[in-house]
Amino acid sequence: MPPDTASTDTQTTITLSHAELVALWDKHTECEFHPEKRSVDDTMATMTDDCYVNHVPTMAGGYGQKLLSQFYGTDFIPVTPPDWEMKPLSRIVSVSEQSIVDEMVITFTHTQPIPWLLPGIPATNKKISIALMAVVRFKNGKIHHEHIYWDQGTVLKQAGLIGDTVTVNGKQYPAPVKGAEAAQTVERDSARLHGGSA
């Protein structure tokens, strides 16, 4: 079925159904990450002209089709490590808000620079696992924006860029940041919540 439309004197608003929101977002991420379907053009085709993406911890992304296309083409799609895995944990879909919130765990080996995640840092060859949340809003039948959140401290810890201790006023203290166990705990708790094994 075609998306619902509501016409006014000045514009036509397209409202996607639950299934349409999910299908569009899944297509978008497939064009970003699937080894055989990665495509900047196909990714951008799912987004509005005034789209934007903000990877909040590093502020990586872009505003508008031109800048965001450049970002996807240089700093995002081509730099995905070969062993990249995404495990979905939960999803909230709101038809009234035209939004999706996805929670997932991402695991990979840092075998090449990843500018959107660790800008300016060369490959560390470290295994990294992080819990990540994507807040996605849609407008007129396409993706308008994405806010992507994760704990950058745990990324730096696992990449070997933060030690086990910090020094404050000449004294050493345990660094207040966790490594892969942070994502593992989220994954375990999610499995228990949904009736799976820990």
| Residue 90 main-chain phi, psi, to 5 deg | -155, 160
Domains and their CATH numbers in the chain: 4-193 (3.10.450.50)
Q: Where are the alpha helices (DSSP H) in the chain?
A: 18-33, 40-44, 64-71, 152-158, 180-193
| Residue 124 main-chain phi, psi, to 5 deg | -105, -10
pTM for the predicted model, two decimal places = 0.89
**Could you tell me which residues come within 8 angstroms of residue 182 by beta carbon, excluding any fewer than 6 positions away?**
130, 131, 151, 154
**Could you tell me which residues come within 8 angstroms of residue 100 by beta carbon, excluding any fewer than 6 positions away?**
21, 22, 25, 91, 92, 93, 94, 134, 135, 136, 138
| Per-residue CA distances from 104 to 16, 52, 131, 187, 189 (Å) | 23, 21, 6, 8, 12
Predicted pLDDT of residue 176: 95
- CA–CA gap between residue 10 and residue 43 (Å, rounded): 29
Predicted pLDDT of residue 11: 61
Q: What is the mean pLDDT of each run of 10 residues along the chain (198 residues)?
A: 50 90 98 95 98 99 98 97 96 98 98 98 98 98 99 98 95 95 94 71
- CA–CA gap between residue 54 and residue 121 (Å, rounded): 19
